[in-house]
Amino acid sequence: MSLATFLEEKGIRYERHTHSTAYTAQQLAQAEHVSGYIVAKPVIIKGRKDYAMCVVPAPAHVDLVRVAQLLHEPQVRLADEQELSRLFPDCELGAEPPLGTMYGMKTIMDSQLAKDDYLIMQAGTHTEAIKMRRTDFERVCEPMVASITPN
């Protein structure tokens, strides 16, 4: 299912933007002329048996110890490129949209993002982005909201 189809089926309004090639979330922020703190970056982690999607601001890193605690896991690790290719077959590697529910994953959103009215995110390619209301993002993903970045 395409991102556009997923959002339309959920009744979510969004803007689709085309931009210069951006391989990182920070490059996306530059291409969109916005602060990296409103760009939602997905970070996929693997626990004992399941994957989960952590959604953090572009300049942030995920605190894996904190995520493991939230998920009641002894430890978690970052998914590797081979796993990402398998989990997101419809996306260019590194351009996955941060919509865990679209891919059957639990979503954990960093509390820093909960302050913003809008979020900007990759749309599956390195040249397309989506802008949507944060409240719509939360309605679609039903994320656990917690502090998952180092302070």
The predicted structure's pLDDT at residue 2: 83
32-75: per-residue pLDDT in tens? 999 999 999 999 999 998 999 999 999 999 999 999 999 999 99
pLDDT at 26 over 70: yes
Taken in order of first residue, the domains within the chain and their CATH numbers are 3-146 (3.90.960.10)
Residue pair 56/41 in contact by the 8 Å Cβ criterion: yes
Distance between CA 131 and CA 17 in Å, rounded? 8
As a whole number, mean pLDDT of residues 11-27 equals 94
Cβ atoms of 120 and 129 within 8 Å: the answer is yes
Phi, psi dihedrals of residue 133, rounded to the nearest 5°: -65, 140
**CA dist., res. 117 & res. 91, Å (int):** 26
pLDDT per position as a tens digit, 63-115: 999 999 999 999 999 999 999 999 999 999 999 999 999 999 999 999 999 98
Those residues whose C-beta lies under 8 Å from the C-beta of residue 19, and which sit 6 or more positions away, are 28, 31, 32, 127, 128, 129
- Report the pLDDT value the prediction gives residue 37, as an integer from 0 to 100: 94
Separation between Cα atoms, residue 40 and residue 95, nearest integer Å:
11
pLDDT at 151 over 80: no
pLDDT for the residue numbered 1: 65
